[in-house]
Structure 1
Amino acid sequence: MELRARDLLEAGASERASRLGAAAAVHYTQALKDLSSLLDRICQTPEQDCDIDALFTMWFLIMRYEACDSETTGASLLHLDGIRLFLRPYLRDDGQATEKKLPCVAQAMLLYTLYLDADSATGNMNSGQFCLDFLSRDAHDYISHEHLFLSVRSALPKMWGEQYPISELLDDLENYRPLRLYHLCQGSKLELLRLARSTTHGGYDDLKKLWRHVESFGDEFADILLLAKKTPSSGGKRLMWTVYAAALDFHALQILCSSLDTYNETPFKPEPSLSYIFSVATKALEEDPRQVYRFMWSLSVALSKTNQAWLSTQLAKARVLLPRFGVPGLILEQCVGLHVSNEGAQ
């Protein structure tokens, strides 16, 4: 994606970008064939962890490509149905785990696939249910949204053991808090979407509960939010792009929560969060415009509240990379249930 971003964001639709797109389409077609062959092999022979790991990795990479390609709209939903069917033997009828366990890499790829579904949910009325199903599972269930995150964060040390480099261990520890904030925001986004789609009458109490949860982890990660605002640049540290993305998601989440508050009882003013999003995103994208795809969700929320030309320009660039992405404020307006105020929507 970053190769494509460099060409399309800086040089327009260049010949090289066209070649990259054509090559990606060829690889995608071959990957679909490989996926089918691998599924046949798994179904016809005794299961091996390496095959299960490869299967979930292929599913994730294929859907990652589909998220960037407007010609494959709808295909990801078929893959999600396939994953759901494949996971049935790993779950009892009552939804609890069985003796079968997904291997470590497969769990990681499943978590990343859940994130893909969550990212597309506010821009696609047909997306999000897959991730919501995992979000609703008991946190102690090893295949729940929460337990997958906790397991995956220590996957590499468990796989490599004493061979795992100290530098990587330190990097993992450094990354944990911003990743945790990002994960909590992902879950809350989906819960917010569930409330917006709900046809029951208990939505307002659930919204207050969600707001308290968001406030709680906002307090817990106040250091991350401050770091994103105060640091002058990434300093070449990969960590900072996770910090930026998580912090912007948090402020965008607050804005959407307040938008669903039809009784105006939430003690929240969107202006400081809008200013925060604009300030942090401007700083980050001046340093590296290719990273705009990380901020699409938060920038879209901000655009639904203000007519900033800069935001429109950035989202136009980002949609070169992710053409299927929708504006959260607009999609929530179409949801039945709680009313959404969406001032200034484009």
Structure 2
Amino acid sequence: MITGAAGFIGFHLSKRLLELGYRIIGLDNLNSYYDIKLKYNRLKILEKFSEFTFIEMDLIDSKSLNDIFGQYQPEIVINLAAQAGVRYSIENPKAYIDSNIIGFFNVLEACKHYPVKHLLFASSSSVYGNQEKTPFSTDDNVDHPISLYAATKKSNELMAYTYSKLYGIAVTGLRFFTVYGPYGRADMAYFSFTDRIARGIPIKVFNNGEMLRDFTYIDDIVSGIEKLLVNVPEEDNNKARYEIYNIGNNKPVKLMYFIEILEHLLGKKAKKEFLPMQQGDVYQTFADISKLEHKVGFKPSTGIETGLSKFVKWYKEYY
């Protein structure tokens, strides 16, 4: 079962696992946070696979979720459904409580009542806040989130740990670092920058361009999750069957260099509007991926130049 199956990561992961012969139950509420046509077009691709079953529903509906668990008895659950976006969490905080807290609680309860072999869930690099020590390690203290979005993701980690400890559920949490690629989220900077530069509309460059992001190409993310599916945390001396990993590229990119690559690929200079740092945003992200590398041999292979080239090629064809 993959929640958020019509989302960016959910779509790519579902497609890969279907190609490998898995049967997938995909859940999604198909909200309109960004271009809903993109979600429908992702689904069209997935629905070509006979082993894919899609159910439109919201995780806040606990009764329906339990009914689905009872009917399909999933062995592995991958919870990717969430209200994403740091900036939107300041405008519409309730959406984050409903989806990321109550929705995730309902998934944990369903996994308790209908035991699964492995629950994997999406956390975020946002939990690290504005810490200066780099690279960010899963051993670092993450008690100081600077957005409600980050706070909900930190809460997910704590909730998942508790359910793992209390009920013996094998749980793996994934702190994603700025995932990008074809069919990506239209609200993210790489997507909106591409769209605006292509159409000659000014782009907003926050913190006057003084930012670093650990951009991670979608194929590398999917490869990492695929390896972790069968790597189930074991019980050890009555500890929780719980692991948390960074999943990133381990190579931060300067925002201005990132814009230069897009300008080159699109054959157009960006009109830039330089602005101060936005509330809730962070200066840099940088993943220490040594733990995941040690566990499953995770090694990202897509550099930013190659990844953005693939994204821009898709963007031109799609639009």
State which structure, 1 or 2, has the greater radius of gyration over its C-alpha atoms.
1
The structure where helix makes up a greater share of residues is 1
TM-score of the aligned structures, taking structure 1 as reference length = 0.32
Q: Which has the higher strand share?
A: 2
